[in-house]
């Protein structure tokens, strides 16, 4: 696993967030950025300017979603119906349906292995895509002292 484990004090102010914890480990995300944890919080850097800090006591659960199966099945069905319409009825309309189904299937595939962090204070969870999702899920759940969920 390629993770940058270090111990350093970060006293930088990024936006409204002051990073004053000792960062224990950083794990890279698929798109860009990293997720790290400290003694008291999980810190997420989606890109170079956006930091999110979730304190350990605010975390309700940490889950790993392998694939959105409902979207994958609907995408395959849409591509199949488009292929059938293309061969039997109207090639242009069928091609459009098939392309939309294949595009949706590709988007569902790229969002696989999503790490979901549900906070007690917020309704919407934070979803990230680490490069090594299973190891990241295990480490974050261990550091936050939660049982592995999902």
DSSP 8-class letter at 149? B
Question: Would you call 59 helix, strand, or coil by DSSP?
Answer: strand
CA–CA distance, 79 with 98 (Å, rounded to integer): 4
| Close Cβ partners of 77 (under 8 Å, ≥ 6 residues apart) | 101
CATH architecture of the domain covering 4-66+113-144:
Roll (2.30)
Q: Where are the domains of the chain?
A: 4-66+113-144, 69-110
CA distances (Å), 29 to each of 57, 116, 118, in order?
24, 13, 18
- Sorting pLDDT into bands at 50, 70 and 90, what band is 21? low
pLDDT in tens, 63-104: 888 999 999 999 999 999 999 999 999 999 999 999 999 999
Most confident listed range (18-22, 76-80, 108-112, 125-129): 76-80
Averaged pLDDT for residues 25-51: 80
Tell me: pLDDT of 13 over 60. no
- Do 143 and 62 contact (CB within 8 A), yes or no? no
Tell whether the torsion through CA atoms of 136, 142, 145 and 146 is positive or negative.
positive
């Amino acid at each position: 696993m390629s993770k940058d484990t270090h111990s350093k004090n970060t006293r930088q102010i990024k936006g409204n967030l002051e990073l004053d914890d000792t960062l224990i480990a950083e794990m890279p995300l698929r798109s860009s950025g990293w997720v790290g944890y400290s003694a008291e919080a999980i810190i997420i850097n989606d890109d170079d300017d956006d930091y999110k800090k979730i304190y350990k006591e605010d975390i309700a659960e940490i889950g790993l979603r392998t694939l959105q199966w409902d979207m994958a099945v609907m995408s395959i069905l849409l591509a199949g119906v488009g292929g059938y319409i293309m061969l039997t009825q109207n090639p242009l309309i069928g091609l459009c349906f098939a392309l939309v189904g294949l595009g949706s299937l590709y988007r569902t595939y790229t969002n696989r292995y999503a790490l979901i962090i549900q906070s007690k204070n917020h309704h919407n969870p934070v979803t990230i895509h680490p490069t090594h999702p299973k190891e990241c899920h295990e480490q974050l759940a261990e550091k936050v002292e939660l049982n592995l969920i999902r």
